[in-house]
């Protein structure tokens, strides 16, 4: 499948670019909304899962762990 896409659209990098080229701007915006929504849901699930693990291992409040994970990742990424 990837080889066929590369042959037919060599300058395309993402699925959203394929959608825009094939079906136009309205479909591109719909897919953009759904992919961003999916990314937010998955990110939330990962943070809450990590907070549950930290809570189970150390006993830290789950809400504090849920806030510490993004702060720690942002600090680590910035430096």
DSSP labels, 18-68? HHHHHH-HHHHHHHHHHHHHHHHHHHHHHHHHHHHHHHHHH---HHHHHHH
Q: What is the pLDDT of residues 26-64, one digit of tens each?
A: 999 999 999 999 999 999 999 999 999 999 999 999 999
Q: How much is the pLDDT for 48? A: 97
Check whether 10 has a pLDDT greater than 90. Answer: no
- pTM for this structure? 0.76
Q: Which two tokens stand for residue 35?
A: 């992919």
Confidence grade of residue 76 (pLDDT, cut at 50, 70, 90) = very high
- Between 60 and 2, the higher pLDDT residue: 60
The three-class DSSP label of residue 2 is helix
């Amino acid at each position: 499948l990837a080889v066929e896409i590369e042959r037919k659209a060599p300058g395309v990098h993402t699925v959203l670019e394929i959608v825009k080229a094939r079906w136009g701007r309205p479909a591109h915006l719909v897919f953009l909304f759904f992919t961003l929504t999916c990314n937010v849901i998955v990110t939330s699930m990962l943070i809450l899962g990590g907070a549950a693990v930290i809570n189970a291992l150390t006993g830290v409040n789950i809400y504090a762990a849920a806030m510490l994970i993004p702060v720690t990742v942002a600090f680590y990424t910035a430096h």
